[in-house]
Structure formats: C-alpha cells, structure tokens
Amino acid sequence: MKQETGKKRIIIAIDGPAASGKSTTARRVAERLGYTYIDTGAMYRSVTLKALQQGVLDGLRHSPESVSSLLQNLSIRFDGDRVFLDGSDVTAMIRENRVSREVSFISSLKPVRDRLREMQQELGRQRGVVMDGRDIGTVVFPDAELKIFLVADARERAKRRYAELIAKSPEGEDLPDLDLLEEEIKRRDKDDAEREHAPLKKHPEAYEIDTSDLTIERQVDMVCNLALEKGVAGR
C-alpha cells in the first residue's frame, strides 16, 4: 500500500557496491513513497554500452581524454522502467555481462562522471526522488536528507547476479560460472573503491544496511521507516 508522502519531499540517496540490492530497493521505496526513481547505474551502463557499440573501449584505455567525443549529444532518459540511449531502448542490453565487466572503467573517467553528475543533479533538483549509485550521498547529493549505504557478502551478490543473468539472457547463451562472477564482483569493488574520481565510500551520515540475509521487502521497510523518521511520510 502506498504511503502518504505528506508535505516534505526529500532526496533519498542509496549507495553501495554491485548487486547489493540498490536498484530494486530504491525502485520499490520510490513506489511506496510516491517518489521518482532515478537509476544512475543505468546511466553509466548506457555510456558503457555506447562505447562498446562504437568499438572505442581500447582507444579510451590508451587515451581516456578522447571520451569527450562519446559524450557529445549524449541523451539518456527514463520512461518508467525503460532506459533510452540516444533515442533507442537499451533496457535489456545495458544489463548484459559484457557491460558489467567494463562499466567500472567507464565510471572511472572524470569527464563521464562530471557529465552524468550534471544530468543527475538536474533530475533531482525538485527533490522527491530516490537515487541509487556509488557516489550519490558523497558527491552528487551530499546534502541528501537521507543517505543509505547497502552492503552484502560477495558470494551472495554473485548469486544474485547469476540469477539475474539466467532470467535475462537468451536461451542457450553461455553464462559465466558463480566463481567467476564472484571474482568479477570483488574486482569491481576494488576498482570502484580505488578510482581517483568519486570513489565508492560510505558517507559519515549514511545508515549502513547489510542485505546479505534480508529480503527485498525487509530492505524496503527499513529504508521507508528511516524516511518516516525524517518526516517524509505519515499522517
């Protein structure tokens, strides 16, 4: 049942590593509170997909500054759960494992982060949004009234990613095994935490929630209860 949002509208920033439950939790929190959900991870994945489609990844590794050409006339928009890159629906493609493997590199590029940060701040300017990512509470909206940092065991996150791949991959497509996915997740954690620009880290004011043994509904309840304490919802 949707809760009343009352008069106060805030920004809820949900950060955390890959497959910690950010996107699903953020989406459902937004639905329950009547807020707008903004999937910033999908934005970085969209830029990564564009780099893959244009075949420029190797060039970017040698000349990161050339990423500016990738960002020219960049258009990313959301329509419900659908994601559109330069006018094309890329909702399924941005979740492919080839994108997951490269998104940390693209996310580490300062011009990419600067451009997407501008877009994210504009989207959240009116407040009343739930935004998830890796630097929302620390860089994009350090003034967010409610900051959440989700964590989870790497093995559990690998299981979640594997289940996601099974659900979304075409029948017969070869999938990486669980051990490989766990190693990829650990490598991405390291890359995200050590990157020079906007590294993944917990804001001092963020509430940390370990989702390893939690259901999505429990995670959503916990975040919504914290929102209630901020005066967001309630009668």
pTM: 0.84
Residue 150's nearest CA partner among 11, 39, 23, 41 is 23
- What would the pLDDT profile of 49-88 be if each residue is shown by its tens digit? 999 999 999 999 999 989 999 999 999 999 888 999 999 9
Q: Which amino acid is at 85?
A: L
- What would the pLDDT profile of 128-168 be if each residue is shown by its tens digit? 999 999 999 999 999 999 999 999 999 999 999 999 888 87
- What would the pLDDT profile of 4-35 be if each residue is shown by its tens digit? 444 689 999 999 999 999 999 999 999 999 99
- What would the pLDDT profile of 160-193 be if each residue is shown by its tens digit? 999 988 887 766 577 888 999 999 999 999 999 9
Is 206:15 a contact under the CB 8 Å cutoff?
yes
- pLDDT score of 5: 42
Q: How far is CA 16 from CA 73, 116, 172, 198, in A?
A: 29, 18, 32, 13
233 has pLDDT over 60: no
Please give the mean pLDDT across all residues of the chain: 91
CA-to-CA distance for 100 and 95, rounded, in angstroms? 7
Q: CATH code for 11-225?
A: 3.40.50.300
Angle at 68 between CA 126 and CA 59, to 5 degrees: 135
**Cβ contacts of residue 173 below 8 Å, gap of 6+?**
none
1 has pLDDT over 50: no
196 has pLDDT over 60: yes
